[in-house]
Amino acid sequence: MRWWLPAERPTEPPTGYKIAHAMLSQDGARAGFTGVSLGGALPYGVLDDASCVYGRRHRPPARLCDCGFHCVHEREVAEALLCTAEHRAAVLLEVSVLGAYIRFERGFRYARQRVRTATVGPCACGAPAVAFADAGWGRPGWRALAATCAGCVRARTSVSLAGFARLAGQGQGLWVIGGGAGRRDGRPAAEAAGAEAGEGFGVPELVAEAALLQARLDWFQSQLARLGDRGDRDDRGGRGEQD
């Protein structure tokens, strides 16, 4: 009796989809992702190997363990997970399944992966996101990030979408795409981004960087104005007491 399916030897790596939280290292020099369920305590890079979350010495994906990276076959299935309250701040990843893998009805469990694209949803206020900002939680040495618009960044630790792609990509060709960002030529945003790989940043990326910088400048100017008004009131109060 056969207890497993025959081994597969695809000509190219299978593609899968998953959701994850964007992460930024404490020193701001690295970026990556962390899962939303099993293995969520272990941030991973764009190109990374899985490890057993239970600390066992076997190589993922072991048949008698749950270790390894996980993804689903269909993009729509992964997108549906973003509807739940606890996953609203997560991003949608398109990954290449590398190394050994186990195929299931709905997805893969596998040893190695390359994150190709990360699709970011809107800011919590509903405006298009231009950056990632501190989400208020994290893992040891890592800050969790959430998509934010230019008006909601304020003084939080943040990085633009293009900056996150640079930090996380490390030359691996990661593309970070704003949710719903279609193309005038009708191609999906992820497909167009892949076709333009190696061409450098275009107008949308530069506009987003400028918007983030302008938002920070506006916030600092408002804080300076507030401090200036308070200083004037203190001066007037002080002169009144002397009189």
Query: 92, exposed or middle or buried, with CB in 10 Å at 0-12, 13-18, 19+?
Result: buried
- Which pLDDT value is given to residue 202? 57
- Which pLDDT value is given to residue 195? 36
Q: pLDDT tens for the chain, 243 residues: list them.
A: 455 667 788 889 999 999 999 999 999 999 999 999 888 888 999 999 999 988 888 999 998 998 999 999 999 999 999 999 999 999 999 999 999 999 999 999 999 999 999 999 999 999 989 899 999 999 999 999 999 988 898 888 999 998 999 999 877 789 999 864 433 333 343 333 333 333 455 555 566 666 666 666 766 677 677 777 666 666 656 555 444
Q: Is 213 left (phi over 0), alpha (psi -120 to 50) or beta?
A: alpha
d(C-alpha 235, C-alpha 114), whole Å: 60
At position 32, the amino acid (one-letter code) is G
At position 231, the amino acid (one-letter code) is G
- Which pLDDT value is given to residue 117? 96
Three-state DSSP state, 138: strand
**3-state SS track over 74-125:** CHHHHHHHCCCHHHCCCEEEEEEEEEEEEECCCEEEEEEEEEEEEEECCCCC
18, 78 contact by CB (below 8 A): yes
Residues 120, 122, 124, 125, Cα dihedral to 10°: 160
What's phi and psi for 48, nearest 5 deg? -155, 160
